[in-house]
């Protein structure tokens, strides 16, 4: 069993579903990386039930590279697995387990490479950055980046190891999620005029969001809109006093995000009946990753084994946060996104081998005195 597969076996054994704490895994990983000689920093959430890990190798110097991944996984509830999802199982060269592809396979490869980072004469630092709660909106990564920039020299590059089959990814849409609450006045339905329905303006708002989505179109190069949940009312014979709508849109660029949010806010400001109040709360904001000409991270990743040409990804990642911090960023990692979140999630051994080779070449690159 290779070191990476053995580490993946261990990582899969931790149930780090986003609704649970990841601290048991964090403690184990931090101990291993500390033993490998890394500078270790943890940054916790407000409740101190979860933590990010930042492990830095090599000199405290500019020009470093970040290897970014996440420790949380999606639930297995309601899925029909043929084996224990939290025990790595191999069949026909495929390794099955929750998070095997998304994205504990990449994390395991980084941990396996850590001893090589230590023994190499690094000319520039390598940072392993593992965040919490990526699956529910990249909640941990802003704190991780702040901690990185506060305590280490600013890196030049970041590679996010989401599963791309080791293809290079240079763009994806962002994600903004909202909750809009409408509050009216309850009344007996025999006299609706005595109340103010919260559902009617909510329904109009949903129609407006639908019109925006229809106008924008679908696909990874278009801003899309989705209404995920509607909840309101209490009984068939009561005018509903409250209704909540959970909705999101996925912008292609930061400008798209700003323009769409302003458009929706303008509608809500003008369209509310006088007797109905509304409040809108932004719950999630994941910035898009935008392609840039001669992106340094793409050039470096291509030179150490990332497969081109760069592709547009249908899924979001934390890459946009690194790019927004002024760090050149690409996405490249082992496994297939088609396996992510699925029952019997798997990754091929060959993909882990490719990640191992990629990180070995990264170590050689980081040891050069010149780019």
Given a contact cutoff of 8 angstroms between Cβ atoms, the answer to whether 159 and 355 are in contact is no
Q: Name the residue among 205, 206, 186, 188 with its Cα closest to residue 196.
A: 186
Report the chain's C-alpha Rg in angstroms: 23
Question: Which of these is catalytic: 9, 15, 72, 170?
Answer: 72
SS3 for 87? Answer: coil
Residue 3: enclosing H or E segment and its boundaries?
Answer: helix 3-12
How far is it, in rounded angstroms, from Cα 237 to Cα 193? Answer: 13
How far is it, in rounded angstroms, from Cα 146 to Cα 132? Answer: 14
Given a contact cutoff of 8 angstroms between Cβ atoms, the answer to whether 246 and 179 are in contact is yes
User: Which residues lie below 8 Å from residue 119, measured CB to CB, with a gap of 6+?
Assistant: none
Given a contact cutoff of 8 angstroms between Cβ atoms, the answer to whether 31 and 15 are in contact is no
- What are the CA-CA distances from residue 46 to residues 17, 27, 142 (Å)? 18, 18, 13
Question: Which of these is catalytic: 15, 102, 134, 345?
Answer: 134
Q: Respond yes or no: is residue 72 known to be catalytic.
A: yes
User: Where in the sequence numbering do the catalytic residues fall?
Assistant: 72, 134
């Amino acid at each position: 069993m290779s070191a990476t597969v053995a580490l993946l076996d261990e990582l899969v054994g931790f149930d780090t579903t986003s609704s649970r704490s990841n601290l048991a895994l964090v403690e184990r990983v931090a101990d291993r990386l500390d033993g490998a000689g890394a500078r270790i920093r943890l940054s916790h959430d407000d409740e101190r039930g979860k933590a990010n890990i930042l492990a830095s190798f090599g000199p405290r110097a500019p020009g470093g590279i970040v290897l970014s991944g996440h420790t949380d996984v999606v639930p297995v509830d309601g899925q029909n697995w043929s084996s224990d999802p939290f025990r790595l199982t191999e069949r026909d060269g495929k390794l099955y387990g929750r998070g095997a592809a998304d994205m504990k396979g990449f994390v395991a490869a980084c941990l396996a490479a850590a001893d090589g980072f230590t023994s190499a004469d690094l000319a520039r630092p390598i940072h392993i950055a593992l965040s919490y709660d990526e699956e529910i909106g990249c909640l941990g990564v802003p704190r991780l980046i702040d901690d990185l920039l506060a305590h280490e020299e600013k890196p030049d590059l970041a590679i996010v190891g989401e599963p791309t089959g080791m293809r290079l990814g240079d763009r994806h849409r962002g994600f903004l999620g909202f909750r809009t609450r409408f509050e009216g006045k309850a009344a007996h339905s025999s006299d609706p005029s005595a109340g103010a329905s919260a559902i009617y303006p909510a329904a109009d708002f949903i129609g407006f969001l639908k019109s925006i989505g229809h106008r924008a179109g679908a696909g990874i190069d278009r801003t899309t809109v989705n209404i995920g949940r509607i909840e309101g009312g209490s009984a068939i014979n009561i005018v509903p006093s409250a209704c909540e709508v959970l909705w999101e849109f996925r912008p292609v660029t930061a400008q798209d995000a700003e323009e769409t949010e302003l458009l929706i806010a303008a509608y809500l400001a003008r369209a509310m009946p006088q007797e109905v109040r509304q409040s809108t709360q932004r719950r999630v904001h994941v910035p898009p990753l935008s392609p840039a000409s001669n992106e340094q991270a793409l050039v470096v990743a291509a030179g150490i084994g990332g497969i081109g040409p760069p592709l547009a990804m249908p899924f979001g990642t934390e890459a946009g946060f690194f790019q927004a911090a002024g760090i050149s960023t690409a996405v490249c990692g082992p496994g297939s996104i088609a396996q992510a979140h699925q029952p019997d999630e798997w990754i091929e051994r060959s993909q882990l081998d490719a990640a191992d080779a990629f990180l070995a070449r990264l170590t050689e690159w980081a040891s050069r005195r010149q780019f």
